[in-house]
Amino acid sequence: MRTNSVIVLLMLVFVANEAYCITVQTPVGAISGLEATLTVDGRQYRMSKFLSIPFAESTAGKIAS
């Protein structure tokens, strides 16, 4: 079962039939990403991927001081 999960994960990451740029509106602004349609064992899946999402400033340095 674990091997099948790893294979499907690799397929999702590396094999996309079609990929389109998408933009999602959030309360704090727009986020851009990719939407891909994948085919695995004859079944189609749709996946959205968003990278470089900004996060709040780290407080680690302030706590250590």
The DSSP bridge pattern shows strands 18-26 and 43-49 to be unpaired
Q: Enter the tokens of residue 15.
A: 């094999």
The domain segmentation of the chain, as residue ranges, is 11-53
The single-letter DSSP state of residue 56 is P
For residue 25, the model assigns a pLDDT of 92
pLDDT of 55 over the 60 cut: yes
pLDDT of 29 over the 60 cut: yes
Tell which wins on pLDDT, 4 or 27: 27
